[in-house]
């Protein structure tokens, strides 16, 4: 029997850096959605524990102890499973690929074995984004990632994700941040009636890492300009620490046509249109 679990892309619609702890970890306030697009973690009974890779984005990824799927399986005390990670999301791209893979592995092993999922504090040891990735829901993420609040369903939106195929170092982006103490989002978030209301509100918010990332990697600015100029795009922003950016659209057809046009104009980029998860 083979079981599988989606590891969806995580998109930070906002990312406010609100402080830095004495241990160097930054405090965040972020609005997060998950997409229908993602990696797949599969497992089947086997002798011993193993991990293998496949997929167009698996090149350069290790199956050793530094792999978050392997670490997640060990954290769950998994035995006698052959794990397979089908990688479709770019590596180190600001859309939570590794953390979402780890969370998918945790969910999968819990379903197969009946073991309880780890607490948010335990999941945080695998990575700051793992607790929010465990939810796969529309969330507000605060602190260093351990404070996760599930929100009412997001309005119907579609996204175009674009990565310029150039990696940007997360530590370097944080190091280039001139001010780590910035205002959070409002304590009470609005109820957005539709995609336009959400995009209008997002324009008043920030990703505090976007400017330093663009300074380090000018290609990100080119991606944002291309998304903003695409037909039907209501709003564009970088996700996480980059380099993946997103455009937000009110209609699925508009997102699909924008992705097709961008693919034709910039075939060297990784470009996908996707809906978001609502469960």
Distance, in Å, from the CA atom of 169 to the CA atom of 177, rounded to the nearest integer, reads 13
> What is the per-residue pLDDT for 65?
86
Measured CA to CA in angstroms, residue 125 lies from 5, 17, 72, 75, 272 at distances of 21, 20, 10, 10, 31
> What is the per-residue pLDDT for 195?
98
Nearest to 270 by CA among 97, 102, 134, 146: 97
Q: Residue 232 has which token pair?
A: 């039907």
pTM of this prediction exceeds 0.75:
yes
> What is the per-residue pLDDT for 64?
85
> What is the per-residue pLDDT for 10?
98
Q: Could you confirm whether 203 is annotated as catalytic?
A: no
Q: Could you confirm whether 129 is annotated as catalytic?
A: yes
> What is the per-residue pLDDT for 1?
79
Q: What single string gives the DSSP state of each residue in 111-163?
A: HHH-PPPPPHHHHHTT-TTHHHHHH-SSEEEEETTTEEEE-SPPPS-EEEEEE
Beta carbons within 8 Å of 225's beta carbon, 6+ residues apart = none
Nearest to 67 by CA among 7, 23, 149: 7
Distance, in Å, from the CA atom of 273 to the CA atom of 159, rounded to the nearest integer, reads 6
Q: Which residue's structure tokens are 């470009």?
A: 271
Q: Which residues of 116-130 are buried (b: 16+ CB within 10 A; e: fewer)?
A: eebebeebbebbbbb
Nearest to 259 by CA among 32, 276, 270: 270
Distance, in Å, from the CA atom of 22 to the CA atom of 2, rounded to the nearest integer, reads 45
- Among candidate residues 10, 29, 101, 208, the one labeled active-site is 10
Residues (pLDDT < 70) of the chain are 279
All structural domains of the chain? 3-150 (3.30.230.10), 158-275 (3.30.70.890)
Distance, in Å, from the CA atom of 236 to the CA atom of 223, rounded to the nearest integer, reads 9
- Among candidate residues 29, 39, 101, 129, the one labeled active-site is 129
Residue 46 CB neighbours (<10 A): 12
Distance, in Å, from the CA atom of 177 to the CA atom of 125, rounded to the nearest integer, reads 24
Q: What is the pLDDT of residues 65-89, one digit of tens each?
A: 889 999 999 999 999 999 999 999 9
Distance in Å from the first CA to the final CA of the chain:
26
Give the DSSP H or E segment for 50: strand 49-54
> What is the per-residue pLDDT for 71?
96
């Amino acid at each position: 029997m083979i079981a599988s679990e989606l590891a969806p892309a995580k998109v930070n619609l906002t990312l406010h850096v609100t402080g830095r702890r004495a241990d160097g970890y930054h405090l965040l306030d972020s609005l997060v959605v998950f997409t229908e697009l993602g990696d797949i973690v599969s497992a089947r009974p086997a002798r011993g524990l193993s991990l293998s890779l496949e997929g167009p984005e698996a090149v350069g990824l290790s199956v050793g102890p530094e792999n978050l799927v392997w670490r997640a399986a060990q954290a769950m005390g998994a035995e006698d499973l052959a794990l397979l990670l089908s990688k479709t999301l770019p590596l180190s791209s600001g859309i939570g690929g590794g953390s979402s893979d780890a969370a998918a592995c945790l969910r999968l092993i819990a379903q197969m074995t009946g073991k309880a999922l780890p607490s948010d504090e335990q999941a945080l040891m695998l990575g700051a984004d793992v607790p929010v990735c465990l939810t796969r829901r529309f969330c507000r993420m605060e602190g260093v990632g351990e404070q996760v609040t599930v929100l009412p369903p997001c309005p119907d939106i579609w996204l175009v994700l674009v990565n310029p195929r150039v990696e940007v170092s997360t530590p370097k982006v944080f190091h280039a941040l001139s001010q780590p103490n910035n205002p959070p989002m409002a304590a009470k978030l609005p109820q957005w009636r539709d995609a336009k209301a959400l995009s209008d509100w997002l324009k008043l918010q920030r990703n505090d890492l976007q400017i330093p990332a663009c300074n380090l990697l000018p290609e990100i600015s080119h991606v944002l300009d291309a998304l903003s100029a695409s037909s039907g795009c209501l709003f564009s922003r970088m996700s996480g620490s980059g380099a993946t950016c997103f455009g937000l659209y009110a209609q699925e057809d508009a997102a699909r046509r924008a992705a097709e046009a961008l693919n034709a104009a910039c075939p060297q980029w990784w470009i996908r249109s996707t809906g978001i998860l609502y469960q």
